[in-house]
A and B are shown apart, each in its own frame.
Chain A
Amino acid sequence: MANVSDTAHAGHDDHAHAHPSFLQHHFDTPTQQFNASKLGMWVFIATEILMFGGLFCAYAIWRGLDPQVFDDAHHFLNKIMGATNTVVLLFSSLTAALAVRSAQVGKRNLTSFYLVVTLLCAAAFLVVKYFEYSHKFHLGLLPGHCFGHPGLSGAIENGREVGTCLRTTGTQTTSMPEWVKAVDEGGQTRVLPPRANMFFGLYFVMTGLHGLHVLVGMGILTWVLIKNVQGKFSKEYFTPIDIGALYWHLVDLVWIYLFPLLYLVGKPE
């Protein structure tokens, strides 16, 4: 392949910038390669927006149909934890942008440092998310075949009382009125609104898909970090760092909308 490339460009191979090692043979110049990569990434980002868009559409429709459920159910989310994660992600976006900047000016070690900080922030985000999820699992807010509102659903599904299975501990089954109550994030015991599973179904799928993107982003940034430590990048060629950072900013962008839509909107008390 290299031979073909050399032959094809034999007419002007005297030029130092013409065939750097990072330039693939089907591109004329590094600029063309860089612009093609960026365009490809932005088209990918467009598809990502449309994928999350289906969930945002479901949110808009369900919220429009039954705003009261969202008002009531969002009190079970912890605003402080959500805001903490927002700040963590925004900070990781800053360090990702600074990693790209360091690469642009050729400071390889600084790039590695910023990438490590970004990865640590990503891990911190997932740790906070773990505490939020496990708390909700404990309250029985996880949607599933057991999750329903006994007072409205008729309580019987496949011969079993809907909702009781998550609350069964040993031989004791908590009575149904107890089941539909849970302590919200304000410390107040609150009756779960009917169809609260609509809200928590959206909550878990939207934050779950976002969490998956955090994991994928960590994988991408780790790969970029390894390549950077190996010295594959330079002031002339930092495209993978740029593209990896773009992915990470996308994760941040989605969370910027998820945070207010899930944690904040709804009537305060």
Chain B
Amino acid sequence: MVTEAHAHAHDEHEDDGAVHVHIASTPFYIGIFLVLICLTVLTVKVSYYDFGAANIVIAMVIATTKAGLVAAFFMHLRHDKLFNTLSFLGALLFLGIFILLTYDDLSKRGRLDPAYGGRVNVQTGQAAPGGPPATSATYDALPEEAPATSGAPRPAQKRE
């Protein structure tokens, strides 16, 4: 590469090793900024209306549009190496995996059943790991320290 560049040192169409980047015009950047401001006004305006469960969806769609504009143009990803974009999107992908797996763990983890003092799976009602079996023991029959060792406070002491 270097040898090639030096062989054609004064040929502008060859790689002379100097940095050549896409330079957007000032009005273009200002245009992007104005779009971002419009989207900000929009997201504040719609927050005064109640769309129920769609509230957060609308807010996140607008936020992601804004973030996309900032990343693509202010951060030059549009005209940058594709690998930089992949690094960025890769982080977002793994963030998504992180949140989904945490949700999955939380929904499948046993909860302390106040009636039995054992850990049960909320969906199935079956005994869950991390505590005495829920189906064969009653709260009164359990040893005094059983709920404490299972990692959760007793319902009577539960602080909200």
How many pairs of residues, A versus B, come closer than 8 Å at their CB atoms? Answer: 167
Instruction: Please classify how large the interface on chain A is, using the bins under 10, 10 to 19, 20 to 34, 35 or more.
Output: 35 or more
> Contact at A83–B95, with CB atoms within 8 Å?
no
Say yes or no for A134: interface residue by CB 8 A criterion.
Answer: no
Say yes or no for B148: interface residue by CB 8 A criterion.
Answer: no
CA distance A131 to B90 in the complex (A): 37
Kindly name the residue among B9, B73, B74 whose own CB sees the greatest number of chain A CB atoms within 10 A: B74
Residues of A within 8 A of B (CB): 12, 15-18, 28-32, 34-35, 38-39, 42-43, 45-47, 49-50, 53-54, 56-57, 60-61, 64, 79, 83, 86-87, 90-91, 93-94, 96-98, 100-101, 104-105, 149, 152-154, 194-195, 236-237, 239, 242, 245-246, 249, 252-253, 256-257, 259-261, 263-268
- Mask: chain B, 101-117; 1 = CB below 8 Å from A; 0 = not: 01100100000000000
28 residue pairs from A and B, CB less than 8 Å apart: A18-B6, A28-B2, A29-B17, A31-B20, A39-B84, A42-B87, A42-B88, A49-B92, A49-B95, A50-B94, A54-B98, A57-B95, A57-B102, A61-B102, A94-B30, A101-B23, A101-B29, A153-B159, A154-B159, A194-B160, A195-B160, A236-B18, A245-B74, A246-B75, A249-B71, A252-B74, A265-B47, A265-B55
Across-interface contacts of B63 in A (CB, < 8 A): 256-257, 259-260
Query: How far in angstroms is the closest Cβ of chain B from A6?
Result: 15
Across-interface contacts of A49 in B (CB, < 8 A): 88, 91-92, 95
Across-interface contacts of A45 in B (CB, < 8 A): 87-88, 91
CA distance A91 to B33 in the complex (A): 7
Kindly name the residue among A38, A90, A152, A195 whose own CB sees the greatest number of chain B CB atoms within 10 A: A90
- Which residue of chain B has its CB nearest to the CB of A261? B59
Say yes or no for B26: interface residue by CB 8 A criterion.
Answer: yes
> Contact at A264–B47, with CB atoms within 8 Å?
yes
Say yes or no for B141: interface residue by CB 8 A criterion.
Answer: no
Across-interface contacts of B88 in A (CB, < 8 A): 42, 45-46, 49
- Which residue of chain A has its CB nearest to the CB of B71? A253
Across-interface contacts of A35 in B (CB, < 8 A): 81
Which label, helix, strand, loop or mixed, suits the secondary structure of the B interface? helix
Total count of chain B residues near the partner, CB < 8 A? 62
Across-interface contacts of B75 in A (CB, < 8 A): 246, 249
- Mask: chain B, 12-31; 1 = CB below 8 Å from A; 0 = not: 00011111110110100110
- Which residue of chain B has its CB nearest to the CB of A263? B47
CA distance A4 to B92 in the complex (A): 43
Across-interface contacts of A256 in B (CB, < 8 A): 63, 66-67, 70
> Contact at B55–A267, with CB atoms within 8 Å?
yes
The one of B20, B43, B98 in contact with A57, judged by C-beta atoms closer than 8 angstroms, is B98
